[in-house]
Structure 1
Amino acid sequence: MSAQFDELLGHATSCYTLTDDELADLRQEITRDVVTELMFGPQQPDRQIRRAGKVNRADVYLISLSCKLLGSDSIHTHLERLVDDLTDIEGALHFACLVNLAQEPEEAIWWWQFAGGAGNATAAYCLYLLHLSRGELRDAEHWMSQALAPDNRIDFFPPPSCAHQLPASLSTNLREAVQRLKVVDASGIRLHHPDHRFLEQIGNHLGPKGSKGSRESTRHSPADLSRQRRLW
């Protein structure tokens, strides 16, 4: 599994800053997509083709970003804090990425919403990608507006040429570890409760020790984020 993380995480590249006008154009384009969906539905073939490409890229981007966060220097600290305190925001963000890779997207949404609602821009961006991948444009637009708040800084995502599909074996291993956890019910959502035994089971596969070639996590402003216009 270490080599798989290394392959995914080794492709992270830097972003460049855009102007405020370009950021405003990005927001307007997202709004146009939402309005067109509400007014015309599937009657716009060219837009539908373009949107299908966005949906496919969003799923790959979310996988790549999740793997990058799980390979960060601080992943063990974040998860350990969540084990001791389920209200830890950074822990919730990183655990959401883990359970999403473990094929538990509905639970991931709960943890991302918890973190995003507390002002975590990276969690909001993850929710944008997830809803976009499902074609849920109004929800996607809402969470993108949260991620692009002026004071927010979020972890960048790799460009399309650097995005990779998640190896099936990695997803299987994470899923098996998650399924061993205690399950609690929160408003009808099954939530897995991480514990120290769980951290021991997956610890060697996360962070720099699990991916020797991973680079240090980089954080960028919303203007940097909007540089990757090909996603939208």
Structure 2
Amino acid sequence: MFDTSPSPAVSGHSGIVPGVSSGRVSQARPVHGGLDPLLARFGGGIRRRVRRGEYLFHCGASFHALYGVRAGSFKSVLLTEDGREQVTGYHMAGEILGLESIGSELCSSDAIALEDSEVIEIPFAELDALACRDAALQRELFRLLAAEIQRERGLMLLLGSMRAEERLATFLLNLSKRLAARGWSATHFILRMTREEIGSLLGLKLETVSRILSRFQTEGLISVRNREITIKRMDALKAVIGRADARREPEVS
């Protein structure tokens, strides 16, 4: 549903060399998640490096490719009618950008790099043609689309029925689970999104995000050092969801 990429210092993985480049590759280095099975059937793609703050694609641009994140992280963004940025998703290594635009001629959101990142561009026309002849590839595409639908449903549930501290606890737990599935630490990571961006994603004010993080730290659930998070009591953090004494916090107006 959402996520942030771990720090090289924490995880032991090297960073991405800054700059933007491209080139045809036959196979990406292994990353866990939806990307590897897709590339295994498709057979490659176009490697691109994207600097922090650069757009991978723009909302309203012609849709022509899916993008598998090999390293780094991205946020999906829409602009509201009054010009404010609304974060709608977070994407990390092993995940795929652009699935929500399948069936449309246009990209449905902006995708912006949160750090120097690397993606594999998979031309959709080629992928679609191959899927018509490859039942296993077609099933993998269906699986990825189903996962995207589940992500959207999860976000709607989060915003529609959870209190503020439940939303933030769910965000941290979801992030922990996604990182662990990719071989990173489940309890020690860096938040690549700012607190304001996290608030935008969760439908919370910046002050609310900061206040709840401080409360979680006071209760001994986590420790916070700038953007560095350590989950100290995983079970207690899980228990926040649905607990009767959850406090009502202001949401984004």
The TM-score bracket by the shorter chain reads: under 0.3
Structure whose residues are more often helix by fraction: 1
User: Going by fraction, where is strand more abundant, 1 or 2?
Assistant: 2
TM-score (norm 2): 0.24
* Bigger Cα Rg: 2
Of structures 1 and 2, the one with the larger relative CO (CA 8 A, separation 6+) is: 1
